[in-house]
Amino acid sequence: MKFDSSLNQLRPLPGALPESGRGEFILSVDGLVTRLNNGARVVDDISFSLKQGETFALLGESGCGKSMTALSLMRLLPDGIRVASGDIKLGEEDILALPEYAMRKVRGGQMAMIFQEPGLSLNPVMTVGDQIAEVLILHQRLRGKEIHSRCVELLEQVGISDAPRRASEYPFQLSGGMKQRVMIAMAMAGQPKLLIADEPTTALDVTIQAQVLKLLRDTQQETGMALLLITHDLGVVAQMAHQVGVMYAGQIIEQASREQLFARPAHPYTQKLFAALPDAGRSGQPLAAIPGNVPSLGAPLAACRFAPRCDKAWALCHEQVPEWTQLENGQGVRCHLYTSQMGNEKLNLKTSLSPAPSTASGEGAGEEGRGASFLQVENLQVHFPIRKGILQRTVGHVKAVDGVSMNIPEGRTLALVGESGCGKTTVGKALLQLITPTAGSVRFAGQELIGITAGQLRKHRAGMQMIFQDPYASLNPKMRVAEILQEGMDALSIAKNSDERQRRIDELLEQVGLEKASKWRYPHEFSGGQRQRIAIARVLAVNPNLLICDEPTSALDVSVQAQILNLLKSLQQQLRLSYLFISHNLAVVEYLAHEVYVMYLGRIVERGTVEEVLHAPKHPYTQALLSAVPRIDGQGMKTIRLPGETPSPSHPPQGCHFHTRCAQAMAKCREVYPSETIISTTHRVHCYLAAE
Amino acid sequence: MIYLLLATVLAAALWIRKRPHLVLPWQRVAKGSVGMVSLLLLSLFVLVGLLDTLHYRAALPEKSNGQTVYSAEVLSVFDVLAKGIKSRTEKTYSAPLAAYLYAKESMETSDGKILRDYPRLRYGGAHLVDPQREFLGDVLKRTGIGALEGLLIGVLLIAISNMLFHFFIKFRTVWSSTGREISKDNWISTFTRAMKNKPFKALLITTLLIAMLLGITANLAAVYHVLGTDKVGQDVLYLALKSIRTGLVIGTVTTLVMLPFALLLGIAAGYLRGWVDDVIQYIYTVLSSIPSVLLIAAAVLMMQVYIEMHPEWFETSAARADLRLLFLCLILGVTSWTGLCRLLRGETLKLRELEYIQAAQAFGVSSSRILTRHIVPNVMHIVLIAVVMDFSSLVLAEAVLSYVGVGVDPSTMSFGTLINSARLEMGREPMVWWTLAAAFGFMLVLVLAANLFADAVRDAFDPRLNRT
């Protein structure tokens, strides 16, 4: 990451009002402290203010107090947590001094909130219209026909087509993106001055995320409301924020305008966050991972909270809490580097901070591993029958995977990319025979896996293993780490006696960077990143050749994600593992993969090497997918908006599956599925555009 | 059979002691005061139940042909200990701590007149010359003495256990010889150290309170009927204590009968799905749609007729009553597994989709191993809660069944028969309330203690609640 050069590349935000157009302060928070009942500070001395029409982004990893700040503002803190001191002013009103009945008027009326999981924040037994009407009756005092017409108006405003019909539908009839739109409509119904968006797009696909972010920007431009955006995604911040506050362990450690922050992050933690982001430029070398984890709430307060993970920390950092320092350009930071003599000296030395990108080593590692195909998949199909009626007759099929072919050579990484519901996880499970494929052939190291008996299959189990998405669900909470690691060895009789097994367990733990002592502990004693390490150790226990990684980092924080990616990369080099890397995160794919397959509705629409697919995409879907990813440098391609949602795999559209959302669709796209077009030896695409 | 159970529990305890990670949750139980107090109460109940289980038949003094003849009446150790209150039967009802009968009788006075009044009891307060004047003083005196005695015994007990504990620790330090200086502190300092931890204090207070209560009861029971007498003049306290065994047997044995059905069928249905699931679901849906009282009544009546046809199988009436009790447990068990089974099936359906199960499947771990290693431990909290809930409701179910007349043998004393007999007298004026109150009180304490203890155990075993 070159901090200086990216300064000029930030585009002005389309939704931003000119500086002079922003009005007076809508929200000002001063010295907010929120505590648990036992005294631990969840939110520690936070101050910021927000002008009309402005977006303030709170950026931070999970558990650093972002959501608690938002809930403190709304005075919706859960039991056992309360605001201990500080001032919250919304306009002229002191929020903390208001009685509860007046607070109810503020919530929704002046300050609205949208949540992360749109599926959980709508009441499943009320129609969408009724839920919006509830807000309208309370805060707008509308009556009778007015309510319905305003409802429809709001739904149209958030871009829901056929709004009058949608208003009388229940949440389960809507897709995830639509539900989030409805949530925004609900929040807008009270015409709030301030909208708090708590990770509004985290649960959504990139293309839908792009839609929702655009919607938020447009709404802000129309109504001039202030937006408090809570997120962990630097890309989203780059697209949305005017001001950014970086939170760490309950404190804002750095506050700056977007341009300043992306040009010159001041705090070591922020610098590390940027450095931990994977991208293609660094695919040859390890990411700058931040060691360790976010400290727990009860951690001592006597020192800088980041000191244990900071490579620039010195004695002072471990002794004294750094003060809030305002730099000349208006940027604020909480770090000793900027206050003390010692710090200034260190600052001048920090030139070697950003690792020089060395593309040569990346290429070299990529070329050597072109062995024979290890896994050959041909025309793999997984169809789930749809049964209806008393006799459970099959009336149709959900074609989750519809003819997928792939080859993975030894020591290479193949990435399978696509939005949720496109069937990529099903491919992984079908390869492992966790789901029985309907048709096709899977040849692993020369042995056909489909159609053999369970006993024969067990012999080949060791070769192919899976790392799951959610490290919290993939480890049995009632088993200790040693038992978890031993299970695979027992089942496949890897080691002979228990001594040998124990030795192997110690070895494995060391290999994935955990202490030996941790084998006697239960999974819940570990953090998300450590759990994922245990999951990796578990599969390594049976000496596999191929790992199917099903979004292994999507549940982890950026800094921890970098640790896991580094681990996977180094394991590949040490053990010559092949990976089938299933992901929706294109930056991770770019960093880790050699080849990329793009999947849409159960079929591969484009495949090729990383450079070919991600830098010269031929299929309009790949192009749209790439353009929807928020880039931290703000450049990227012109955003191609994909209208609508992924169609249901039970009724795929006639012809090319993508034509319903494709801007360049032609008449023949609607009739026949395009056959494969060979662009180069490795690059193939299913699209008529490329064929011409 | 009860011995087998005890032996299993002991063996399990020894097995656990050898494994430090299994001892840990139990140490956590020992650290909670609620858990320990309820355990103390529960173990008192179990002690009474066990004493009541040690049966023997007294040898009769006369011998026939040189062979010892045993009496037809089966006595238990408990009967011997409570011989005093067992043998002192009055004519009919008498209120707790009364000196007079509860019903008027015609009595002939010394001068030949027929007087209709409440007669003196044969045993209760018989030592008093003029009960009306002396009664209160005597009761208070005995309460005081009893409390003091109980307190003394309690203190003595604590002192002895403390000494034992102290020597045990010394013994251990000598044996372990970790170079640590053998503690010079005497047993008093051991005591003060122990006093500092909270559950120990709670345990101490409870022990003293219980000892006092027992002392008072023992002292009063020597001359009064503490909880009154029932229709045929039997002491209600004795009946209530005897009922404990029935309650415990019904609770534990039925649970043990029910558990394998529920656990095996429930997780098999949830994990294997397909036709296995269909079959099991149909069975329990059908079973649970038959009124359970009807089903139990039919089974009990059939069993009763069968037993009556083969009187030669049983040497004593007690053996017959016990067999009937066991059969009742069996029938209750067979009919009551459906609820837990349904719960477990649902939970297993949820668990089988979890990623760690799929990871195990990817390793080629066999189904039976996945069931025992992954699914059973993760549904154990449901089993534990359901079992304790069922324990309580089974004790209550026994009461209902005895009311309908298909419960335990009429000669078996149980809370059910106690309540059933009290029911008729509730409408009487003045009301006979003590039988019901006694059964209610004992049942409440028993079930509450069991519930609280199970709560403490569950919390201790939940790894998510015990973050270190």
Are B362 and A477 an interchain contact pair (Cβ–Cβ within 8 Å)? no
Residue A95: predicted pLDDT: 86
pLDDT at A22 over 60: no
pLDDT at B215 over 60: yes
CB contact under 8 A, A457 and B364: yes
Q: Does the predicted interface ipTM exceed a cut of 0.90?
A: no
8 Å CB contact between B212 and B151: yes
- When mean pLDDT is compared across A633-642, B24-33, B201-210, B342-351, the lowest value belongs to A633-642
Q: Is the pLDDT of residue A371 over 70?
A: no
Q: Specify whether the CB–CB gap between A246 and A306 falls below 8 A.
A: no
Touching check for A532 and chain B: CB below 8 Å?
no
Say which of B359, B360, B463 has its CB closest to residue A478: B463
DSSP state of A389: T
User: Cα torsion for B181, B187, B190, B191, to the nearest 10°?
Assistant: 180
Cα separation, A471 vs A469, in Å, equals 6
**Residue B313 scores a pLDDT above 80:** no
Q: Does residue B463 carry a pLDDT above 70? A: no
User: Cα distance from A492 to chain B (closest Cα, Å)?
Assistant: 7
Contact pairs from chain A to chain B, CB under 8 Å: 72
Task: Summarize pLDDT for A411-428 with one digit per residue, the tens.
Answer: 889 999 988 778 888 898
Taking the Cβ of residue B373 and every Cβ of chain A, the question of whether any pair is shorter than 8 Å is answered with yes
pLDDT at residue number A196: 92
pLDDT at A581: 92
Minimal Cα–Cα distance from B364 to chain A, Å? 5
* Residue A526 contacts B where some CB pair is shorter than 8 Å: no
Distance from the Cα of A461 to chain B's closest Cα (Å) equals 6
pLDDT in tens, A61-89: 877 888 888 888 888 888 778 888 888 88
pLDDT value, residue A345: 63
Q: What pLDDT, on the 0 to 100 scale, is given for residue B54?
A: 77
What pLDDT is recorded for position A20? 44
Instruction: Give the pLDDT confidence score for residue A64 in this predicted structure.
Output: 82
Disruptive mutation site among A476, A479, A520, A525 for chain B (greatest number of B CBs within 10 Å): A476
Note the pLDDT of residue A365. 40
**Using CB atoms, which residue from A432, A461, A478 is nearest to B378?**
A478
Give every CB contact of residue A550 below 8 A, 6+ residues apart in sequence. A425, A428, A466, A467, A468, A469, A582
Q: How far apart are CA A166 and CA A131, in angstroms?
A: 12
Inform me whether the pLDDT recorded for A366 exceeds 50: no
Q: Which residue's structure tokens are 């300050």? A: A111
Res B383 pLDDT > 70: yes
The domain A373-463+544-691 is placed in CATH, from the list 1.20.80.30, 3.40.640.10, 3.30.1330.200, 3.40.50.300, at 3.40.50.300
The residue among A266, A132, A194, A205 whose CA lies nearest residue A586 is A205
For residue range A239-261, what is the model confidence (pLDDT) as tens digits? 888 899 999 888 888 998 888 88
| Averaged pLDDT, B295-313 | 83
**Chain A residues close to B351, C-beta within 8 Å:** none
- How many CB atoms lie under 10 A from the CB of residue A97? 10
Q: What is the pLDDT of residue B2?
A: 67
In angstroms, rounded to a whole number, what is the distance separating the alpha carbons of residues B438 and B239?
Answer: 9
Choose, out of A478, A489, A536, the residue to mutate when testing the contact with B (most B CBs < 10 Å). A478
Contacts of B353 in chain A (CB under 8 A): none
C-alpha to C-alpha distance for A244 and A55, rounded to whole angstroms? 8
| Predicted pLDDT at B196 | 65
Q: Is A336 on the interface with B (CB under 8 A)?
A: no
Residue A228 has pLDDT above 90, yes or no: yes
Rounded to whole angstroms, how far apart are CA atoms A422 and A403?
13
Question: Cα(A677)–Cα(A685) distance, rounded to whole angstroms?
Answer: 5
Pairwise CB contact (< 8 Å): A491 & B366? yes
Say if residue B90's pLDDT is above 80: no
Q: How confident is the model at residue A358 (pLDDT cuts 50, 70, 90)?
A: very low
Chain B touched by A554 (CB under 8 Å) = no
Rg (CA), chain B: 27
d(CA B402, CA B424): 14
Q: Which fold has domain A1-100+230-359?
A: Rossmann fold (3.40.50)
- SS3 labels along chain B: CHHHHHHHHHHHHHHHHCCHHHHHHHHHHHHCHHHHHHHHHHHHHHHHHHHHHCEEEEEEEEEECCEEEEEEEEEEHHHHHCHHHHHCCCCCCECCCCCECCCCEEEECCCCCEEEECCECCCCCCCCCCHHHHHHHHHHHHHHHHHHHHHHHHHHHHHHHHHHHHHHHHHHHHHHCCCCCCCCCCHHHHHHHHHCCHHHHHHHHHHHHHHHHHHHHHHHHCCCCCCCECCCCCEHHHHHHHHHHHHHHHHHHHHHHHHHHHHHHHHHHHHHCHHHHHHHHHHHHHHHHCCHHHHHHHHHHHHHHHHHHCHHHCCCHHHHHHHHHHHHHHHHHHHCCHHHHHHHHHHHHHHHCCHHHHHHHHCCCCHHHHHHHHHHHHHHHHHHHHHHHHHHHHHHHHHHHHHHCCCCCCCCCCHHHHHHHHHHHCCCCCCCCHHHHHHHHHHHHHHHHHHHHHHHHHHHHCHHHCCC
pLDDT band at A41 (very low <50, low <70, confident <90, very high): confident
The one-letter code for the residue type at A70 is A
Q: Give the tens place of pLDDT for each residue, A110-126.
A: 889 988 887 788 888 89
- pLDDT at position A186 over 50: yes
- How confident is the model at residue A299, as a pLDDT? 59
Determine the average pLDDT of the residues in A218-243: 88
The residue type found at A439 is: A
Of A181-185, B426-430, B456-460, the range with the lowest mean pLDDT is B426-430
pLDDT band, very low/low/confident/very high, at A275 (cuts 50, 70, 90) = confident
The answer to whether the CB atoms of A477 and B468 lie below 8 A apart is no
From the list A466, A520, A525, the residue facing B359 with the nearest CB is A466
* Inter-chain residue contact B358 with A466, CB threshold 8 Å: yes
The pLDDT tens digits of the residues spanning A507-553 come to 888 888 888 888 888 888 788 888 898 999 998 888 888 999 988 88
Domain boundaries, chain B: 71-221, 234-465
Domain with CATH 3.40.50.300 in chain A: 1-100+230-359, 373-463+544-691
Residue A250's pLDDT is what?
Answer: 84
Residue B465 has pLDDT above 70, yes or no: no
Band (pLDDT 50/70/90 cuts) for residue B320 is confident
| Residue B109: alpha-carbon gap to chain centroid | 47
Residue A203 distance to chain B (closest CA, Å): 19
Give residue A16's pLDDT. Answer: 45
At residue A56, does pLDDT exceed 90?
Answer: yes
Give the DSSP H or E segment for A380.
strand A373-388
User: Helix, strand, or coil here: A274?
Assistant: helix
Nearest to B362 among A466, A478, A479 (CB): A466
Residue of B nearest to A525 (CA): B467
* The predicted structure's pLDDT at residue B22: 67
Among partner residues B354, B356, B361, which is closest to A434 by beta-carbon distance? B361
With bands split at pLDDT 50, 70 and 90, how would you rate the model's confidence at A9?
very low
Alpha-carbon gap, residue B203 to B172, rounded angstroms = 24
Percent of the residues in chain A that have a pLDDT greater than 70, as a whole number: 88
Place A350 in a pLDDT band, splitting at 50, 70 and 90: very low
pLDDT at residue A5 greater than cutoff 50: no
Chain A nearest C-alpha distance from B369 (Å): 9
Looking at residue A347, what is its pLDDT? 60
CB contact under 8 A, A470 and B468: no
Give the pLDDT of residue B51: 82
The answer, yes or no, to whether residue A405 has pLDDT greater than 70, is: yes
Q: What is the mean pLDDT of chain A?
A: 81
Residues of chain B contacting A444 with CB distance shorter than 8 Å: none
Are A461 and B364 an interchain contact pair (Cβ–Cβ within 8 Å)? yes
- Contact yes or no for A474 and B464 at CB 8 A: no
Chain A contact probe: residue of B19, B275, B278, B356 with most A CBs at under 10 A? B356
Using a CB–CB cutoff of 8 Å, tell me whether B274 touches chain A: no
Please name the fold of domain B234-465: MetI-like fold (1.10.3720)
Whether A461 and chain B come into contact, CB under 8 Å, resolves to yes
Residue B256 near residue B455 (C-beta atoms within 8 A): no
pLDDT one-digit tens code per residue, B109-158: 777 777 777 777 777 777 777 777 777 777 788 888 888 888 888 888 88
CA angle B367, B370, B375 (to 5 degrees): 125
Check whether B305 has a pLDDT greater than 90: no
Minimum-distance CB partner of A487 among B358, B365, B467: B365
Integer Cα distance of B128 and B135 in angstroms: 7
A479 touches chain B (CB under 8 A): yes
Residues 6+ apart with CB under 8 A from A236: A57, A201, A209, A213, A229, A630
A457 near B CB under 8 A:
yes
> What per-residue confidence (pLDDT) applies to A596?
92
List CB contacts (< 8 A) between B365 and chain A.
487-488, 490-491
